[in-house]
């Protein structure tokens, strides 16, 4: 049974497109049940429509966070969803929103972040890393928990900041990595290769990736 995903996004949707393309190419064994977007006219809505995926626009403007979250959960309840995939979803989520996805102490919610977490959390990962003057940055795919950009890391990939880089060139290098890394991380979930562990020194949950798929 393919992994059943719902994508939450706020913007242009290039990661959503990369996931759709990986499914089409047969490198990701998943289906996208729906796309939910909190911003009217966002590019991701066109991408979903072109791919024939049900898309819901649920604007948050003027709504208290729990009210908006209840509307999103209501829309999601029409679908069978194994994992929520955050792909540029620029909203903080309350623990109440995450609760329906809680499973054995972790949440079936995945996010992609444009830095090597725990460095440069927040809304501007590429900009913050670039202006800090890092020599190496990267991309992180992680499980979501109650804190911002904090949950167990599934995959990370580093890339250099070249001396000649403009911010735009730096971002484009990162984005190309995002588009490979997100489908790859989701396929690890589809293959049941994630083991959930706890490190008593850091007192953090973390993910170990098994070498082989579990049937
Ligand atoms: C990506 O850089 C992602 O890492 C960040 O927001 C951006 C979304 O881009 N969280 P897109 O909408 O997927 O093109």
Give 66-111 as a DSSP string: HHHHHHHHHHHTTS--SEEEESS------HHHHGGGEETTEESEEE
Q: Is the CB of 193 under 6 A from ligand 1?
A: no
- Domain holding 35, by residue range, is 3-209
Contact 208, 152 (CB under 8 A): no
Q: Is the minimum distance from the CB of 115 to ligand 1 under 6 angstroms? A: no
What integer pLDDT is reported at residue 104 of this predicted model?
81
pLDDT in tens, 48-97: 999 999 999 999 999 999 999 999 999 999 999 999 999 999 999 999 99
Please indicate whether residue 178, judged by its CB atom, sits closer than 6 Å to ligand 1: yes
Nearest atom in ligand 1 to 12's CA: 12
Residue 214 is assigned to a structural domain of this protein: no
Q: What is the DSSP letter of 117?
A: T
Which listed residue (113, 131, 142, 179) is catalytic? 113
**Cα-atom radius of gyration of the chain, to the nearest Å?**
17
In a domain, 66, yes or no: yes
* Res 212: pLDDT: 85
User: 12 in ligand 1 pocket by Cβ < 6 Å?
Assistant: yes
Q: Is 166 helix (H, G, I), strand (E, B) or coil?
A: coil
* Within-domain flag for 102: yes
Q: Is the CB of 32 under 6 A from ligand 1?
A: no
Helix, strand and coil percent figures for the chain, each rounded to 5:
35, 25, 40
Total domains in the fold of the chain: 1
Report the pLDDT value the prediction gives residue 213, as an integer from 0 to 100: 82
Residue nearest to atom 7 of ligand 1 (CA): 88
10: alpha, beta or left, given left = phi > 0 and alpha = psi -120 to 50? alpha
On whether residue 51 sits in a domain, the answer given is yes
Active site residue 113: yes
| Beta-carbon contacts of residue 1 (< 8 Å; ≥ 6 apart) | none
Dihedral sign for Cα 60, 62, 68, 74, please: negative
Query: Is the distance from CB of 32 to CB of 3 less than 8 angstroms?
Result: no
| Position 77 in a domain | yes
Domain-located, residue 215:
no
Instruction: Characterize the bridge pairing of strands 153-160 and 136-143.
Output: antiparallel
Distance 160 CA to ligand 1 centre (A): 19
Identify the CATH number of the domain in which residue 82 sits. 3.40.50.170
Q: Could you state, in chain order, the average pLDDT of each consecutive group of 10 residues for the chain (215 residues)?
A: 97 98 98 98 98 98 96 98 98 95 93 98 98 98 96 98 98 98 98 95 95 81
The pLDDT of residue 196 is 93
To test ligand 1's pocket by mutation, which of 21, 85, 175, 176 has the most ligand atoms within 8 angstroms of CB? 175
- The rounded Å distance from CA 178 to ligand 1 centre is 8
In a domain, 53, yes or no: yes
16 belongs to a structural domain = yes
Beta carbons of 54 and 35 less than 8 angstroms apart: yes
Residue 209: count of CB within 10 angstroms of its CB: 13
């Amino acid at each position: 049974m393919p992994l059943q995903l719902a994508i939450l996004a706020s913007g242009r949707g290039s990661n959503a497109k990369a996931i759709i393309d990986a499914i089409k190419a047969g490198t990701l064994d998943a289906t996208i049940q729906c796309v939910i977007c909190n911003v009217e006219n966002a590019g991701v809505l066109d991408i979903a429509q072109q791919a024939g995926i049900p898309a819901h626009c649920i604007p948050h403007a003027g709504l208290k966070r729990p009210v908006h979250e209840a509307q999103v959960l209501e829309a999601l309840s029409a679908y069978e969803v194994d994992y929520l995939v955050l792909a540029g979803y620029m909203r903080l989520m309350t623990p109440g929103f995450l609760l329906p996805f809680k499973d054995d102490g972790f949440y079936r919610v995945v996010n992609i972040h444009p830095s090597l977490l725990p460095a440069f959390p927040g809304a501007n990962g590429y900009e913050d890393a670039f202006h800090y003057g890092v020599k190496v940055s990267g991309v992180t795919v992680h499980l979501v928990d109650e804190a911002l950009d904090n949950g167990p890391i599934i995959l990370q990939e580093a890339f250099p900041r070249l001396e000649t880089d403009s911010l735009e060139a730096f971002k484009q290098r990162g984005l190309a990595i995002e588009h490979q890394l997100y489908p790859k991380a989701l396929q690890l979930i589809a293959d049941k290769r994630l083991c959930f562990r706890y490190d008593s020194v850091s007192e953090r949950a973390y993910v170990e990736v098994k070498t082989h798929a579990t049937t």
